[in-house]
Amino acid sequence: MIKLTGLIKRYPGRTVTANAVDGLDLEIPEGQLVSLLGPSGCGKTTTLRMIAGLERNNGGIIEIDGTVVSDPARRIFYGADRRPIGIVFQSYAIWPHMTVEQNVMFPLTVGRRKIGREAARRRAREALDMVGLADFATRPAPDLSGGQQQRVALARALVREPKVLLLDEPLSNLDKGLRDRMRDQIREVQLQLGITTVFVTHDQDEALAISDQVILMNRGHIVEHGKPQEIYTFPRSEFTARFLGVSNSLDGVATDVTEGHAVVRIGDAELKCAQAEGVRAGDEVSVFLRPESFRLSRREGMWPGTVEFSIYGGDCWDYHVRVGETLHRVRVYQEKVGLKKGDAVFLTPDQDAAIVVLRNSDAVPVVKTAAS
Amino acid sequence: MATLLETPPSTDATKPPVNARLGWRRFVNGRYITLTVASILVAYLALVPVCTMVYASLQSNFLGIGGSHWTLGNYSHTFSEPGFWPLVANSFGYAISTAVVCIVVGFGLAWFVTRTNAPFKGFARAAALVPMIIPGVLNTIAWSLLLSPEQGPVNQALRKIGLPAFDVYSLHGMIFVQAMHVVPIAFLMGTAAFSAMDSSLEEAAMASGASPVRTFFTITIRMVRPAILSAALLMFIQSISTFDVPQLIGVPGHTYVFVSKIYAALQAFPADYGTVGVIGVFVLVIAVVGLVLSRRASRGAAVQTITGKGFKATVQDIGKWRWVGFALFVLFFIIAVVMPIAMLLWSSLLPGYEPPSLHAMHDLSFKNYSNVFHRPVLMKALRNSIIISLSAAIIVTALSAVVAYITVKTKIVGRGVLDTLATIPIAVPSIVMGVGILYFYLSAPLPVHLYGTFAIMIIAFVTITMPYGMRYVVPGMAAIKDELEEAATSSGASWLQGFRRVFVPLLMPSLLASFLYSMIVSFREISAAIFLYTSGTEVVSVQIYDLFRNGTYPVVAALGIVMVIFLVILVAVMQGLSRIFGIKQRH
């Protein structure tokens, strides 16, 4: 279990208002894998490093497994070497002057709870076995490929059986294909050990695929917090919607709201939108539509438009379609012959997939209480 | 989770255990103690000689009997002396010309080695670096023999083919001899700069239609300009502050520069400490201004060359010119290495000095060598040199490792100041260092008298070589990613454990280089040692100078050869060690 209360990090020399992490409250339940997701500079890595004890928080309380490990107000601070953590870095951080086994043994041979060499070796082998690298134990660490090094790093983080596993963009340095396999392996090991895990990433797909819960951060705040499918299907703010790749937005006014459904007037057209939590009649709203939430037809539809740009993406076609002043990004799957620039088409939004949020909803960070 | 390695320190969150508190006790740990001690040591070493020098220059009667008061009299007196401005002109002419010659030769050779397909590069590299092993004082002695106006074999040869003789006892003689000694340093810096260069920038210029020559001048030279500037400055400071060439070549030809003037003023009776202080401060100011300027010039530019991944300095095909490059190397090797060593070797085998001839061959013997080994004074000097330079090298290496850690890896307030302090000695001419240290330990009311001990020499050599040690260790430290230490810390390692098991092994190549360089420099150092030795603490370089002044050329030559052999062995051993400790690093 990890509990953060009012966590604050300031970097000296920057403007006073822009705290890197600004009063973060978060509780991560035992055994869950929680992703900190957000654009670079949103404070996600800083938060992870504060949990690790590699950075000092300027305010707030960090609790790991029921123990306060940092509370500047009460002058409590445990360094990283005294916290029950294991960490995996983006750059692997494998010590190049040691063999694979020596790397993994290291945590067992330092600090206050070191154990004998033979016992350490045995446990290092077990950890390497878990990540499928038992055969590489005696190799010099730099001889391994990037993916293998990252697995060594994982074994090293887990070998002393920490209470908390911290992963700082562990997949970012890997090739695309390898990334998915490594991601699955991390999740597998995490579930098998039932270890509380924090996973920092800027990649929404990674976060959605691996997490029990996703925490979306921006400018040192939590913007949204929820299960992956909730966050994906019900973004509650423009920031979330945009960050999760919803690229079409239309401004309108909510006219009729019933049970989470809203009728939104956009110019002359009216859209019946299924998802409109927290919206009242008369509110100025933005309607977000994913590129794949359109039907495209040459003959009939809601809005007449013109194709301005087309890209073939293998399993799909991406189009920019102009309707009046607005340019829509549209993705169509399973289409053999693509449309060309200048083709006249009709666009019909999929009303069930339209997401309605209050306009300027980013002004106030929307925080959903932690669901366990 | 099964077991937890680190027991939760306390489950009662309201009552933290003592050692987690942020109070003063957190300073009592290996990290803070090590860092504090190193910082204080660096500050002490860097500031004492400089401050003492400034203080002495502002005293009416420094180290004199009777009272002394603050005054600017020394300055007005020294600056208004008729000989002072010619002295400045001589010194500048000497140091600037030497720097220019070194840059042209050193960077030129470096370019051939790193960027062209000139043949036999292994030989070329060795040829350019071997002169480093010949101590300056030996180089000077060898050349003053080779080029002595009447007897020197080179001049005899020149006369034979009808060319005018080259009088070494002149300003251009000084420039030549000093340049032959410091070119390897320029070569090293040039090699580093040329091979750290991203040649795609040059390729881009060529692809834009620039000719190779134009590319060389508009792109290549521009990119290595920071390196050229900092190398030039280093050559300048080295030349303006070393003792051997001005004393052994300048003084006989009545060409005085700062160093020889300071030495003369100290040898005079009564010693003119005020003037020495003024000249010392003057030299110091010049050096500091130069350092600041070259740092400003190299800011920004240096960063560009190391960004971007996977660049490689490519090699150009220069056609037939590659053989010209090779010939230049051979020529340089003959002049800078073969001739001085041969001269020393020749003299060391003769009972008295004779120019090389068939007739003289009959007198060849190893008598001078047995003389060296049977003179207790010389053996003692050899022992002293080894003890002192070894201690200095160990201290410098340890100190640079810690200071480099502070400046590169921590965010401690004042680390910039510490970095500057550790660099200051580079701007302090070693003669100022020697005199400053001498003054301080003569005058300061210390509980222990260090004057006349090894300690004072070690202090001087540590101070002098510290910036160079830092030069090797800082880039090594910067190349170690922060995560490597963080991974150790979050594995539960204390700071000392992390330092010992992660930094030290990864830094080993840099540490060895720092150790080797400090040891060689300390071993052959004379400019500071000449002011600090007393009977009992003589070192080899000082003994060589003394013997030479007394005209005992053959023994000097033999001792010199012994010294060179010792240094060659040292370098070979260290090379072997660094191969063992060399770490295969892929990223």
Q: pLDDT digits over B452-466, tens only?
A: 889 999 999 999 999
Query: What pLDDT does A118 receive?
Result: 92
- pTM of the prediction? 0.78
Predicted confidence (pLDDT) at residue B312 exceeds the cutoff of 60: no
- CA distances from residue B108 to B53, B111, B315, B332 in whole angstroms, order as listed: 38, 5, 15, 12
A14 touches chain B (CB under 8 A): no
Average pLDDT, chain B: 83
A73 touches chain B (CB under 8 A): no
Whether A82 sits inside 8 A of B4 (CB atoms) is no
Q: Would you state the structure tokens that stand for residue B247, as one six-digit string?
A: 């004393």
Query: What pLDDT does B115 receive?
Result: 82
Q: Would you state the structure tokens that stand for residue A202, as one six-digit string?
A: 């800027």
Amino acid letter, B556 = V
Contacts of B21 in chain A (CB under 8 A): 75-76
Predicted confidence (pLDDT) at residue A371 exceeds the cutoff of 50: no
- Distance (Å) from the alpha carbon of A328 to chain B's nearest alpha carbon: 37
Whether A110 sits inside 8 A of B1 (CB atoms) is no
Q: Is residue B268 packed enough to be buried (19+ CB in 10 Å), middle (13-18) or exposed (0-12)?
A: exposed
**Distance of alpha carbon B373 from alpha carbon B382, whole angstroms:** 10
Predicted confidence (pLDDT) at residue A362 exceeds the cutoff of 60: no
Whether B584 sits inside 8 A of A76 (CB atoms) is no
Whether A142 sits inside 8 A of B587 (CB atoms) is yes
Backbone phi, psi, residue A89, to 5°? -100, 160
Contacts of A79 in chain B (CB under 8 A): 489
Backbone phi, psi, residue A269, to 5°? -90, 155
- Distance (Å) from the alpha carbon of B200 to chain A's nearest alpha carbon: 25
Q: What is the pLDDT of residues B116-152, one digit of tens each?
A: 888 887 787 777 777 777 888 899 999 988 998 888 8
Predicted confidence (pLDDT) at residue B436 exceeds the cutoff of 60: yes
Mean pLDDT score, B106-114: 88
Q: Is the CB of residue B425 less than 8 Å from the CB of residue B45?
A: yes
Average pLDDT, chain A: 87
- CA distances from residue A129 to A151, A158, B466 in whole angstroms, order as listed: 10, 12, 47
Q: What is the pLDDT of residues A236-270, one digit of tens each?
A: 888 888 888 777 888 888 888 877 678 888 877 88
Facing B502 at nearest CB: one of A67, A81, A95: A95
The DSSP annotation for A252-314 comes to EEEEEEETTEEEEEETTEEEEESB-TT--TT-EEEEEE-TTSEEEESS--SEEEEEEEEEE-S
Measured distance between the N- and C-terminal CA atoms of chain A, rounded to whole angstroms = 12
Facing B16 at nearest CB: one of A76, A80, A161: A76
Amino acid letter, B522 = S
With H, G, I as helix, E, B as strand and everything else as coil, classify residue B151.
coil
Amino acid letter, A281 = A
Give the A window 305-334 contacts with B, CB below 8 Å.
none
Q: Looking only at Cα atoms, what is the longest distance across chain A? A: 77
Whether A79 sits inside 8 A of B492 (CB atoms) is no
Mean pLDDT score, B226-244: 85
Give the model's confidence band at A361: pLDDT under 50 very low, under 70 low, under 90 confident, else very high: low
Query: What pLDDT does A368 receive?
Result: 40
Give the A window 85-124 contacts with B, CB below 8 Å.
85-87, 89-93, 95-97, 106-107, 110-113
The CB-based long-range contact list for B118-125 (8 Å cut-off, 24+ gap) reads B118/B318, B118/B322, B118/B323, B118/B325, B118/B326, B118/B329, B119/B322, B119/B323, B119/B326, B120/B326, B120/B329, B123/B329, B124/B326, B124/B329, B125/B191
Give the model's confidence band at A92: pLDDT under 50 very low, under 70 low, under 90 confident, else very high: confident
Facing B486 at nearest CB: one of A78, A80, A193: A80
Q: What is the pLDDT of residues B296-308, one digit of tens each?
A: 766 644 433 333 3
Q: Would you state the structure tokens that stand for residue B218, as one six-digit string?
A: 């508009």
Contacts of A68 in chain B (CB under 8 A): 13, 16
Query: What pLDDT does B586 receive?
Result: 35
Of B316, B513, B294, B299, nearest to B404 (Cα)?
B513
Q: What is the pLDDT of residues B46-92, one digit of tens each?
A: 899 989 989 988 988 887 767 778 888 889 988 888 889 999 999 99
Whether A110 sits inside 8 A of B497 (CB atoms) is yes
With H, G, I as helix, E, B as strand and everything else as coil, classify residue B116.
strand
Query: 3-state secondary structure string, B20-34?
Result: HECCHHHHCCHHHHH
Predicted confidence (pLDDT) at residue B539 exceeds the cutoff of 60: yes
